[in-house]
Chain A
Amino acid sequence: MADDRRDFRSNRWLRRVLGACFGGVCLVATFLGVLVLALLLWSVVAAAMPSAPMGATGPSLSVRVRDLFHLLGELISRINASDADAAGYRVGLVSSLWLLALVAVTGIPVGIAAGVYLEEYAPTGRIRHLVQTNIANLAGVPSIVYGILGLALFVRGYGIKALALGPVLISGVLTLSLLILPIIVITTQESLRAVPQSLRQAALALGATRWQVVRDHVLPSAFPGILTGTILGLSRAIGETAPLLMVGAAGSLDRPPRTPLDRYSALPIEIYNYAHEPGAEFRVVVAGGILILVALLLTMNSVAIVIRHRYRRSA
């Protein structure tokens, strides 16, 4: 009896220590992610800042921050060049904004419409299940495969000359639209699912047609969720490099596109291109470009995340 009790007690001690260690490991693992994010931002900022010697002799922090913003301003206004002192990202930025705007008007409506159909209209059954599985799989297809699809379908027109668009802006737009389609469909469906059924029933009972119910009641109350998905999808499109490489976005272009049928570039493409340049002076240019891209995407994503969390709390 006494032996049993001693065993139990020693065991309890071990269990507590083990538990505490495990909790510690989990804590460290979680903060590792946050730490990496901080390290990442810091190292990019440090690389973009004009190099200061260690110690007190360097310029003060406020001067360096001002220099950094000055550098970013220069990078935004200059166009592509093979000389690091004259190199900038204007063409890439303008192209990326074109891509953003055009993907927003081509890819987003189609994605939302497909989500609405699957959630509000489609009869449950085999076909809906198949389409649903297909979309889940599309979301997992590597982005470079979409690039190949765009290359064969839009740039080369499946071998038919009349259909071939060539490596122009609209090819990139269509490719990116297909790429973000599954994200938009899935988030739209999720936010439609969160709309209470009673809302639909009430509207239907008052004689509204199905489309009236969706347009006037379901879509407005699912709007924040759909908006979140839209922003996340667009930021994904802005950050993608590989599919645009496939469909022929140009790394060094000396003027931004003016129409959807012009040749185009993109911010990440130009960064990739500069990263290939030999010479240490391009480091600052690359780091500055990364900083612009990251700032753009973090802003978009945090807006999306804030909307989502506020919406969830009120729901």
Chain B
Amino acid sequence: MLSSALEVSSRRSAVAERWAGHSRYLAYWEAAVTLGLVLCTVVTVLTTLGIVAVLGVETVAFFSQAKIGIGEFLFGTALKPDATSPRFGVLPLMWGTFLIAAGSSAIALPIGLFSAIYLSEYAPRRLRSVLKPTLELLAGIPTIVYGYLALVLITPILKQIFEPFGLRVERFNALSACIVVGVMIIPLVSSLSEDVLSAVPRGLREAAYGLGATRFEVSTRVVLPAGLSGVCASFILAVSRAVGETMAVVMAAGMVPKITLNPLTSIETMTTYMVQVISGDASYGEPKYLSLFAVGLTLFAVTLCLNLISNLVLRRFREVYH
């Protein structure tokens, strides 16, 4: 009797022991997993720090190697890295980048916005469920394909259009790059804007329709103002994407750094310059090679500013509906 009671209690304690052991094991496991997840999250922070550190350190090295000031770098109008007394003015690259960004935005922003309005306000549900994935597919096409198309499809068409008027179209020209980059960022604008427009509450639309507004008036005077912050944010993101675009511009716009208003000639953007330097024969430590990092830092700063502004616009000017 006593022994069996003892046996039961000892068995119980054994069970309890096992459970306790298991929960201790679970606690260790839990801590280990949490640590692992934290480390993975830290990688994302380290990436940013790494970018800033790499670009910062090498840019300082560039300025001390090339013996030029920041003012001369940012506002110099001549970029001649191969000359005997090399000049590193980044302004032509900035201008080229601006030209591409402005030209492609002029194409992509209106088309993207109109198609966002169509998708959210006009399209029947069935059509929309086909169109949206198709536009998403367009966003997945790699940029080198767009560059190739600019070269073999767009530039010949431009030649046929402009050469009869006596305008010379160079084999590499800014306009073809603007067109393909514009086409490339349409899906970005339309999909982000459409998300915002669709999120505008139905009640607003129905109230306007109830007052006798046409669909056009509801779209442009009710829905669009309500989603304006999101639309602007998507515009800025698209511009930032165009600024950072590399391969399409490398293949279409050429590598001639100059400040020009003629989009039928070859120009050079910041990204193109970076590809040019890395493809060239400059070795590490030369001012030309180090200028890669200085231009990279400029590019990073520009896109970072655009992204932050986009974030700010989205948060500051958002209309909140409940």
Contact A23:B216 (CB < 8 A) given known A117-B40, A137-B48, A149-B47: yes
User: Who on chain B is nearest to A301 by CB?
Assistant: B140
Q: Are B271 and A142 in contact (CB under 8 A)?
A: yes
User: Who on chain B is nearest to A297 by CB?
Assistant: B140
Q: Are B44 and A32 in contact (CB under 8 A)?
A: no
User: Who on chain A is nearest to B138 by CB?
Assistant: A37
Point out the residues of chain B lying under 8 angstroms from A135, CB to CB. 44
Interface size on A, residues (CB 8 A): 89
Q: How far is the CB of A305 from chain B (nearest CB, A)?
A: 5
Pick from A53-61, A253-261, A286-294 the stretch touching chain B.
A286-294
Point out the residues of chain B lying under 8 angstroms from A109, CB to CB. 40
In angstroms, Cα B168 to Cα A296, docked, is 38
Q: How far is the CB of A307 from chain B (nearest CB, A)?
A: 11
Q: Are A19 and B217 in contact (CB under 8 A)?
A: yes
Whether a CB of chain B sits under 8 angstroms from the CB of A80 is no
Q: Are A29 and B303 in contact (CB under 8 A)?
A: no
The 8 A CB mask of B129-172 against A (1 = contact, 0 = none) is: 10101111110111111011101110000000000000000000
Q: Are B54 and A133 in contact (CB under 8 A)?
A: no
Whether a CB of chain B sits under 8 angstroms from the CB of A265 is no
Point out the residues of chain A lying under 8 angstroms from B115, CB to CB. 26, 29-30, 32-33
Q: How far is the CB of B281 from chain A (nearest CB, A)?
A: 14
Point out the residues of chain A lying under 8 angstroms from B292, CB to CB. 148
Q: Are A47 and B152 in contact (CB under 8 A)?
A: yes
In angstroms, Cα B135 to Cα A30, docked, is 9
Whether a CB of chain B sits under 8 angstroms from the CB of A268 is yes
Interface size on B, residues (CB 8 A): 90
Q: Are A245 and B279 in contact (CB under 8 A)?
A: yes
Pick from A62-70, A71-79, A234-242 the stretch touching chain B.
A234-242
The 8 A CB mask of B238-265 against A (1 = contact, 0 = none) is: 0011011111001100000000000000
Q: How far is the CB of B291 from chain A (nearest CB, A)?
A: 12
Contact A113:B40 (CB < 8 A) given known A43-B153, A141-B300, A144-B244: yes
In angstroms, Cα B37 to Cα A145, docked, is 26
Q: Are A43 and B149 in contact (CB under 8 A)?
A: yes
Point out the residues of chain B lying under 8 angstroms from A22, CB to CB. 216, 219-220
Point out the residues of chain A lying under 8 angstroms from B220, CB to CB. 22
Q: Are A149 and B54 in contact (CB under 8 A)?
A: yes
In angstroms, Cα B118 to Cα A136, docked, is 28
Contact A240:B142 (CB < 8 A) given known A136-B311, A145-B51: yes
Point out the residues of chain A lying under 8 angstroms from B240, CB to CB. 140
User: Who on chain B is nearest to A313 by CB?
Assistant: B129
Number of A-B contacts (CB under 8 A): 259
Task: Give the contacting residue for A141; candidates B36, B45, B143, B244; CB below 8 A.
Answer: B244
Pick from A83-91, A177-185, A193-201 the stretch touching chain B.
A177-185
Q: How far is the CB of A32 from chain B (nearest CB, A)?
A: 6
Residues of A111-151 whose CB lies within 8 A of B: 111, 113-114, 116-118, 121-122, 131, 133-138, 140-146, 148-149, 151
Q: Are B216 and A19 in contact (CB under 8 A)?
A: yes
Whether a CB of chain B sits under 8 angstroms from the CB of A309 is yes
In angstroms, Cα B29 to Cα A146, docked, is 34
Task: Give the contacting residue for B118; candidates A26, A148, A245; CB below 8 A.
Answer: A26
Point out the residues of chain B lying under 8 angstroms from A297, CB to CB. 140-142
Residues of B282-307 whose CB lies within 8 A of A: 284, 292-293, 296, 299-300, 303-304, 306-307
In angstroms, Cα B240 to Cα A232, docked, is 21
Q: Are B141 and A181 in contact (CB under 8 A)?
A: no
Q: Are B44 and A30 in contact (CB under 8 A)?
A: no
In angstroms, Cα B243 to Cα A145, docked, is 12
Q: Are A242 and B271 in contact (CB under 8 A)?
A: yes
Q: Are A141 and B303 in contact (CB under 8 A)?
A: yes
Q: Are B247 and A272 in contact (CB under 8 A)?
A: yes
Whether a CB of chain A sits under 8 angstroms from the CB of B34 is yes
Task: Give the contacting residue for A286; candidates B30, B148, B245, B247; CB below 8 A.
Answer: B148
Q: Are B47 and A178 in contact (CB under 8 A)?
A: yes
Residues of A1-34 whose CB lies within 8 A of B: 15-16, 18-19, 22-23, 25-30, 32-34
Q: Are B279 and A26 in contact (CB under 8 A)?
A: no
Residues of A208-263 whose CB lies within 8 A of B: 209-212, 232, 235-236, 238-242, 245-246
User: Who on chain A is nearest to B293 by CB?
Assistant: A148
Q: How far is the CB of B32 from chain A (nearest CB, A)?
A: 9
Point out the residues of chain A lying under 8 angstroms from B149, CB to CB. 40, 43-44
* Additional A-B contact list (18), CB under 8 Å, known A16-B214, A29-B110, A148-B274: A23-B118, A32-B186, A33-B135, A33-B183, A33-B186, A111-B40, A117-B38, A140-B240, A148-B292, A209-B30, A238-B142, A239-B140, A272-B144, A275-B147, A298-B141, A301-B136, A302-B133, A306-B133
30 contacts between A and B (CB under 8 A): A15-B217, A19-B214, A23-B215, A26-B118, A29-B110, A30-B114, A32-B115, A33-B111, A33-B135, A37-B137, A121-B38, A134-B48, A137-B304, A137-B307, A137-B308, A141-B51, A141-B300, A144-B244, A148-B293, A210-B34, A235-B140, A241-B143, A245-B275, A245-B279, A268-B142, A271-B144, A287-B148, A290-B144, A297-B141, A298-B141
Which residues does A use to contact B, with CB under 8 Å? 15-16, 18-19, 22-23, 25-30, 32-34, 36-37, 39-40, 43-44, 47, 109-111, 113-114, 116-118, 121-122, 131, 133-138, 140-146, 148-149, 151-153, 156, 158, 178, 181-182, 185, 209-212, 232, 235-236, 238-242, 245-246, 268, 271-272, 275, 283, 286-287, 290, 293-294, 297-298, 300-302, 305-306, 309
